[in-house]
Amino acid sequence: MLKMLKKSSRPVPLVAFTLASVLPVAFLALGAAQGGFWLWFGFLYMAAFTVLLDQLLPFGTADAPEGQDVLSSDNVLVGVGAAALVILPIATWAIAGDSSSLSLGERLLMFLGTGLWLGQVAHPAAHELIHRTNKPMFHLGQAVYSAMLIGHHASAHRLVHHRHVATDLDPNSAREGESFYAFVRRASVDSFKAGLKAENDLRARSSSGIRDLHPYVLYIGGALVALILALSIGGFTGLIVWLLLAAHAQVQVYLSDYVQHYGLRRVTREDGKAEPVALHHSWNTPHWLTSAMMLNAPRHSDHHANPSRPYPLLRLDTPEVTPQLPWPLPVACTMALFPKYWKRQMRPELERWRSLHGGADHAEVTPA
**Mean of pLDDT values over 300-311:** 93
Is 38 inside any structural domain? yes
66 within some domain: no
Task: Give the Cα separation of 277 and 304 in Å (integer).
Answer: 7
pLDDT range class, residue 8, cuts 50, 70, 90:
very low
Number of domains into which the chain is organized:
1
Average pLDDT over residues 107-115: 98
Half-sphere exposure (CA, 13 Å, Cβ side) for 235? Answer: 5
pTM above 0.85, yes or no: yes
Contacts of 355 (CB under 8 A, 6+ apart): none
Please list, in sequence order, all residues whose beta carbon lies within 8 angstroms of the beta carbon of residue 255, skipping any fewer than 6 positions away: 119, 180, 333, 336, 337
For the cut 60, the answer to whether the pLDDT of residue 359 exceeds it is no
The predicted structure's pLDDT at residue 7: 39
**Which domain, by its residues, includes 343?**
2-61+87-205+212-262+274-356
Residue 268, domain member (yes or no): no
Residue 365 has pLDDT above 80, yes or no: no
pLDDT value of residue 204:
87
Amino acid code (one letter) for 289:
L
Q: Which pLDDT score is estimated for 364? A: 42
Domain presence at residue 230: yes
Give the pLDDT score at 1: 36
In a domain, residue 45? The reply is yes
**With bands split at pLDDT 50, 70 and 90, how would you rate the model's confidence at 72?**
confident
CA distances, 105 to each of 29, 31, 215, 233 (Å)? 16, 12, 39, 20
pLDDT digits (tens, 9 = 90+) for 150-205: 999 999 999 999 999 999 999 999 999 999 999 999 999 999 999 999 999 998 88
Lowest average pLDDT, out of 63-67, 280-284, 357-361, goes to: 357-361
pLDDT digits (tens, 9 = 90+) for 214-237: 999 999 999 999 999 999 999 999
Residue 75 lies in a domain: no
Whether residue 279 is predicted with pLDDT greater than 90 in this model: the reply is yes
Residue 271 has pLDDT above 90, yes or no: no
Residue at 236 is within a domain? yes
How sure is the predictor about 356, in pLDDT bands with cuts at 50, 70 and 90? confident
pLDDT confidence band for 362 (50 / 70 / 90): very low
pLDDT for 57: 78
In this predicted structure, which of 105-109, 255-259, 316-320, 343-347 has the lowest mean pLDDT? 316-320
For the chain, the average pLDDT equals: 90
**Banded pLDDT at 9 (limits 50, 70, 90):** low
362 within some domain: no
Residues linked to residue 274 through DSSP beta bridges, in sequence order: 268
pLDDT(45) > 70: yes
pLDDT band for 4, please (50, 70, 90 cuts). Answer: very low
For the residues 87-105, what does the mean pLDDT come to? 94
Give mean pLDDT, residues 300-316. 92
